[in-house]
């Protein structure tokens, strides 16, 4: 069992990583016998995990209810959020209840936002079931729902009480979802840890095969890197913005194409290549690093080109609604070299457009 602490003073919390944690009530700290909880999941995961976890918590003395939402990014919406609120109010649940998010990034983000806003804030526990959620979205307290005009535009910074990562959940993960998660994994190597990037180049096939030892190390390292960044910049005033490499372009793809058409990691992968080409055009990233990044993404089964349906001009309106825009000025995360990235403002539109053209099919 691995345990990492996200150090945020009185709001610090553990990330527990091991196989079989869904069968271990101790890992669901701080839940104790007599507590009331609401378990939120989706209709794809419910047949796999819901009954066993629900029954185990129930037998452990937890007064537990459940909400099953439709799966898919398109359901990270006000309508689904209201469904959660209705269930919480109907039962009813008070400020002493705990929300448990059992799922990938969609469930984690939505349930976390529900926890942040229901009765002005209740405790919640993240139980991420996808690689993407385990290495990224479940850690750090970003919660949100989507709007038709922009991804994750309605949300709050709200930290969980704990994060429970059961490695066995990855055994039921579809291959496309596994690749999507690897985009966020590769991101950490590009922006923060060149040695980890090299490790990924050597061990990618083991990760694609979900080999337990390699996967455990990979998830632990990603969580360590993110926990360190969150501890010094919880609300994204500085270094945490680096974690958005590729996301400005990627969110434009997800919004323009319609939520769910491209998985988040797929859009981020294409966006990272666009950001890398922007860095190359600014003479901030050498050709060898560009090739290594592209090659690793391709080996992971990820796109390095944007959607054929989008023109470069289609990206700009969406990118100008990005949360990093300040004073109507675009700010992009660009890789300077493997293991190091910077947030740059004032990048001319023609550079951004050319970087997109560099990644057109």
CA distance 30 to 162: 8
261 assigned to active site: no
DSSP string, 103-148: ESHHHHHHHHHHHHHGGG--EEEEEE-SHHIIIIITSS-EEEEEET
Choose the catalytic residue: 76, 93, 221, 240.
240
Q: What are phi and psi of 203, to 5 degrees?
A: -115, 15
CA distance 109 to 76: 8
147 assigned to active site: no
281 assigned to active site: no
Handedness of CA 152, 156, 157, 160 (dihedral sign): negative
Choose the catalytic residue: 264, 277, 281, 318.
264
Q: What are phi and psi of 241, to 5 degrees?
A: -60, -25
321 assigned to active site: no
Gyration radius from the chain CA atoms: 20
Tell me which residue of 335, 216, 330, 208 sits closest to 284, measured CA to CA: 335
Choose the catalytic residue: 10, 59, 120, 328.
120
Choose the catalytic residue: 251, 281, 318, 331.
251
Choose the catalytic residue: 66, 93, 187, 247.
247
Choose the catalytic residue: 66, 76, 151, 184.
184
Choose the catalytic residue: 66, 187, 221, 226.
226
142 assigned to active site: yes
SS3 325: coil
Alpha helix locations (H) across 133-261? 175-191, 194-208, 212-232, 247-257
Tell me which residue of 46, 56, 39, 300 sits closest to 186, measured CA to CA: 300
From first CA to last CA, the distance across the chain in angstroms is 44
Question: CB–CB of 338/285 below 8 Å?
Answer: no
93 assigned to active site: no
Question: CB–CB of 135/115 below 8 Å?
Answer: no
264 assigned to active site: yes
236 assigned to active site: yes
Question: CB–CB of 276/217 below 8 Å?
Answer: no
Choose the catalytic residue: 73, 234, 236, 254.
236
CA distance 218 to 354: 34
SS3 160: coil
Q: Are strands 13-18 and 340-345 parallel, antiparallel or unpaired?
A: unpaired
226 assigned to active site: yes
Q: What are phi and psi of 261, to 5 degrees?
A: -65, -45
What positions carry a catalytic annotation? 120, 142, 184, 226, 236, 240, 244, 247, 251, 264
């Amino acid at each position: 069992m691995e345990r990492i602490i996200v150090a945020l003073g009185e709001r610090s919390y553990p990330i527990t990583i091991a196989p079989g944690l869904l069968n271990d009530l101790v890992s669901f700290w701080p839940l104790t016998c007599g507590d009331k909880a609401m378990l939120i999941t989706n209709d794809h995961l419910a047949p796999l995990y819901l009954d066993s976890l629900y029954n185990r918590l129930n037998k452990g003395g937890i007064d537990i209810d459940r909400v099953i939402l439709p799966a898919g990014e398109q359901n990270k919406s006000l309508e689904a959020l209201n469904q959660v609120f209705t269930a919480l109010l109907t039962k009813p649940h008070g400020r002493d209840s705990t929300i448990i998010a059992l799922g990938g990034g969609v469930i984690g983000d939505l349930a976390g936002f529900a926890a942040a806003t229901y009765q002005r804030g209740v405790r919640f526990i993240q139980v991420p079931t996808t690689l993407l959620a385990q290495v990224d979205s479940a850690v750090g307290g970003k919660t949100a729902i989507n709007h038709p005009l922009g991804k994750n535009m309605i949300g709050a910074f709200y930290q969980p009480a704990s994060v429970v990562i059961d490695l066995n959940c990855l055994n039921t993960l579809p291959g496309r979802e596994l690749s999507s998660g690897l985009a966020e994994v590769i991101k950490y190597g590009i922006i923060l840890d060149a040695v980890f990037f090299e490790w990924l180049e050597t061990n990618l096939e083991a990760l694609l095969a979900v080999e337990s030892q390699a996967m455990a190390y990979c998830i632990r390292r990603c969580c360590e890197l993110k926990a360190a960044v969150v501890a010094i910049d919880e609300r994204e005033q500085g270094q945490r913005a680096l974690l958005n490499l590729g996301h400005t372009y990627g969110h434009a793809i997800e919004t323009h194409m319609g939520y769910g058409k491209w998985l988040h990691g797929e859009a981020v992968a294409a966006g990272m290549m666009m950001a890398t080409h922007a860095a190359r055009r600014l003479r901030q990233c050498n050709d060898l690093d560009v090739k290594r990044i592209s090659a690793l993404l391709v080996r992971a089964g990820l796109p390095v080109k944007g959607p054929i349906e989008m023109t470069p001009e289609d990206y700009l309106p969406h990118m100008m609604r990005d949360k990093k825009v300040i004073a109507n000025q675009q700010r992009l995360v660009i890789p300077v070299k493997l293991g190091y990235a910077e947030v740059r403002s004032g990048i001319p539109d023609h550079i951004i457009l050319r970087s997109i053209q560099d990644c057109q099919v």
